[in-house]
Chain A
Amino acid sequence: MNVWRIAIKELKWFRDPKMLVFLLATPILLMLILGTALSGAFQGSAAVGDIRVLYGASDGAAGARFEQWLGESSSVEGIVFEKSEKEEDAAVQDVKNGLYTGYVALESGGVTYYGSSRSVMENGIVQGMLTSFAERFKLETAIPDAAQAEGSAAGAGIVKETSLQGPKRPGAMDYFAIAVTTMCIMYGAASAGQLIDMERIRNTASRLLASPVTKAEIFAGKIIGTLLLNAITIAIVVLISRYMYGANWGSNWGAVAIVLMSQITFALSLGLGISYLVKGKAAGIIIMTIIQLAALFGGSYWQIEDNGDFVSKLSGYSPITWTNEALLGVIYGGGEGLMPASVAVLLNMGLSVVMLAAAAWIMRRRVGL
């Protein structure tokens, strides 16, 4: 009951107009700016080279057939097929390293596709094209499961997409609706870092602790209240981007909500955890640095190509990246996107548990909050 009382109190922040502007107007504006200013990069020729797929033929005839088909069929914008000069193993290794989105092995009887687990959505497109090719020549297609090619998470089974266009790709607004939302969630770590400090600075910490409420209740109440506050804010941001800008959030609202909620929890735990682990002003600086780096390498301002360079290697460590990819997977990858998304959710929640446990442990041993 006391937990609830304290949680509800946190929501009163909502009435602060400055806070509302910061919480709502910033993401809405950012989406508009990034989504329209950068839309060219998503639809025009600049997108060519976004997806690079290797192919290799163990059978000369199969290779020729494929090249003939590539020449004939209208291509999908942004996808480039390159002939591999390497052995199949070496080519698959390049895919694992993120240099290419996938590797197509052409044999006399069929086609095998090794997709990189980093790009669920791109694989959907490539698979769609391959299916089209295979149907034309009545070939077998095979997508090896993870056991065969570690790092491949394209999933077992048959290629579902048959249209040459492949599944829908995100436009600029679709992408930045996601990227800006997850960046805003990440910024929640900054206010979470001040969550307990605010009570200390205003001395209300003394009053709370002088009342017959346990530290655990105060802690839980503030966390639940803030989660609720952030969830409501983010829900509003998502709905505005969906209905005002027409951004695509897919149809699996439940999965989208779970992924977003896991990141909201992660951001809060990160901020709170660091504010306990690091003393004084340094905590705020560290939190802000983490947020900025996460946004920079997480594709919050431009989409980061998975081409194995320095930025894209670091990109994998940004919580924004793994959350964005989870969302893109859920929205564009259909059923196949759910597995990698749940890994991201587990990662977010696992890190949250670690940070919260550390904060709770330090708080218990400390005088005051």
Chain B
Amino acid sequence: MNVLELKELTKKFGDFAAVDRLSLTVKEGEIFGLLGANGAGKSTTINMIASLLPSTKGEIELMGRIIAKNAKFAKTNIGLVPQELAIYEEMTAYENVHFFAGLYGLRGSLLKSRAEEALAFTGLQDKKRSYPRDFSGGMKRRLNIACAIAHRPKLIIMDEPTVGIDPQSRRYILNSVRKLNEMGSTIIYTSHYMEEVEELCTRIAIIDHGKTIAEGTKEQLKSIITDRKTVGISVRSTEGLQIDKLLEIAGVREVELDEERRTVTIASDAEVNNLNRMIQQLLEDGMEIRAVDERQPNLETVFLTLTGRSLRDS
């Protein structure tokens, strides 16, 4: 069953199309990854799904029903974890969860037990009587999630839930996403972090300039670029390196320079044997080469190949 279906969804701010005829399908039980650079249109898409923003064109169907005509049904079945923290500082962690879950129609002892459950789920049960102003960034993020899941929504949408937090909180969040999924929620997960999406998601859509440019499982996405190879070359110093010269080499598609790690990443057509030309060029530029490795395509390279830019830089 399709939990969510976006059909030619469009959102314009003035003349600018932040989301541009975007279509995708999320099936029941999936952890669906939305991958895209900053400004790609992820949050705008999510806000339309959550009925926070009217669409300019196109349709959104939740469990077969058009949400614009079934707003209450749609809202009840969605749990939104907004990109920005959305919690009350003057209320305890428990009161926050209790308050928001109450808006979904839960009452009395059921409301209480669900609020407790959501806090336990995000590892905040010991902090339930504390105020969020005393929380670390990671704990606030976890509370932000707890507030969205206590009503056990069919579809949970997480908009960059791990931005700027400590590794421990991140681990906690990733595990709870998996557990929520096992308990029957379908999840849409947005992230900047390629590793997270690669580790977590069963299916992924890559979004750029408001459009879906690829959609599928990790394997399917990688197979798009089996005709590509990536060469990573470490040098002692990147000073004097001429990127345009590298780009002139036959077969080379993209060149990326990481000055901090002093590595050059070159994406190239797989069938062209051009490694020797690359090495030669680098030596001509005066580079001292320390290591060379040819990499299998990963999502990072998929993203780089399809969008022409790296996710990390954006």
Which residues of A198-215 are within 8 A (CB) of B?
A: 202-213
CB of A168 within 8 Å of the partner chain? no
Cβ contact within 8 Å between B102 and A207 = no
B18 partner residues in chain A, CB cutoff 8 A: none
In the complex with contacts A367-B53, A368-B52, A206-B80 CB distance below 8 A: yes
B82 partner residues in chain A, CB cutoff 8 A: 203, 206-207, 210
Residue-wise interface mask of A (280-295) relative to B, using a CB-CB cutoff of 8 A (1 in contact, 0 not): 0000000000000000
Q: How far is the CA of A204 from the CA of B52 in the complex (A)?
A: 12
Which residues of B224-257 are within 8 A (CB) of A?
A: none
Which of A7-15, A105-113, A313-321 lies at the interface with chain B?
Answer: A7-15
Chain B residue at minimal CB-CB distance from A209: B52
A203 partner residues in chain B, CB cutoff 8 A: 82, 84-86
> Which of A16, A202, A211 meets B103, CB within 8 Å?
A211
Cβ contact within 8 Å between A9 and B75 = no
Cβ contact within 8 Å between A210 and B51 = yes
Cβ contact within 8 Å between B90 and A207 = no
B86 partner residues in chain A, CB cutoff 8 A: 202-207
Chain A residue at minimal CB-CB distance from B101: A211
Min distance, Cβ B76 to any Cβ of chain A, angstroms:
5
B84 partner residues in chain A, CB cutoff 8 A: 203, 206
B275 partner residues in chain A, CB cutoff 8 A: none
Q: How far is the CA of A209 from the CA of B47 in the complex (A)?
A: 10
Chain A residue at minimal CB-CB distance from B47: A206
CB of A36 within 8 Å of the partner chain? no
In the complex with contacts A203-B82, A207-B82, A12-B103 CB distance below 8 A: no
B75 partner residues in chain A, CB cutoff 8 A: 210-212
CB of A160 within 8 Å of the partner chain? no
A210 partner residues in chain B, CB cutoff 8 A: 50-52, 75, 78, 80, 82
In the complex with contacts A5-B99, A13-B90, A367-B53, A211-B85 CB distance below 8 A: no
Cβ contact within 8 Å between B102 and A5 = yes
Q: How far is the CA of A292 from the CA of B102 in the complex (A)?
A: 40
Cβ contact within 8 Å between A367 and B104 = no
CB of B87 within 8 Å of the partner chain? yes
Size of B's binding interface in residues, CB under 8 A: 30
Size of A's binding interface in residues, CB under 8 A: 21
Which residues of A13-35 are within 8 A (CB) of B?
A: 13, 15-16
> Which of B71, B91, B100, B105 meets A207, CB within 8 Å?
B100
CB of B166 within 8 Å of the partner chain? no
CB of B72 within 8 Å of the partner chain? yes
Q: How far is the CA of A9 from the CA of B91 in the complex (A)?
A: 9
Cβ contact within 8 Å between B91 and A12 = yes
Cβ contact within 8 Å between A2 and B90 = no
Q: How far is the CA of A80 from the CA of B14 in the complex (A)?
A: 70
Q: How far is the CA of A282 from the CA of B148 in the complex (A)?
A: 34
B76 partner residues in chain A, CB cutoff 8 A: 212
Min distance, Cβ B300 to any Cβ of chain A, angstroms:
31
Residue-wise interface mask of B (77-109) relative to A, using a CB-CB cutoff of 8 A (1 in contact, 0 not): 010101011111111000100011011110000
Q: How far is the CA of A202 from the CA of B86 in the complex (A)?
A: 6
B71 partner residues in chain A, CB cutoff 8 A: 212
Min distance, Cβ B85 to any Cβ of chain A, angstroms:
6
B80 partner residues in chain A, CB cutoff 8 A: 206-207, 210
Chain A residue at minimal CB-CB distance from B75: A212
Min distance, Cβ B135 to any Cβ of chain A, angstroms:
14
Min distance, Cβ B96 to any Cβ of chain A, angstroms:
9
Cβ contact within 8 Å between B89 and A367 = no
A206 partner residues in chain B, CB cutoff 8 A: 47, 50, 52, 80, 82, 84, 86
Min distance, Cβ A247 to any Cβ of chain B, angstroms:
32
Q: How far is the CA of A206 from the CA of B52 in the complex (A)?
A: 7
Q: How far is the CA of A197 from the CA of B103 in the complex (A)?
A: 20
Q: Which residues of B contact A (CB under 8 A)?
A: 47, 50-54, 71-72, 75-76, 78, 80, 82, 84-91, 95, 99-100, 102-105, 147-148
What are 21 A-B residue pairs whose CB atoms fall within 8 Å in the complex? Answer: A2-B102, A2-B103, A5-B102, A12-B95, A202-B86, A202-B88, A203-B86, A204-B87, A206-B47, A206-B80, A206-B86, A207-B80, A207-B82, A210-B52, A210-B80, A211-B75, A211-B104, A212-B71, A212-B75, A367-B52, A368-B52
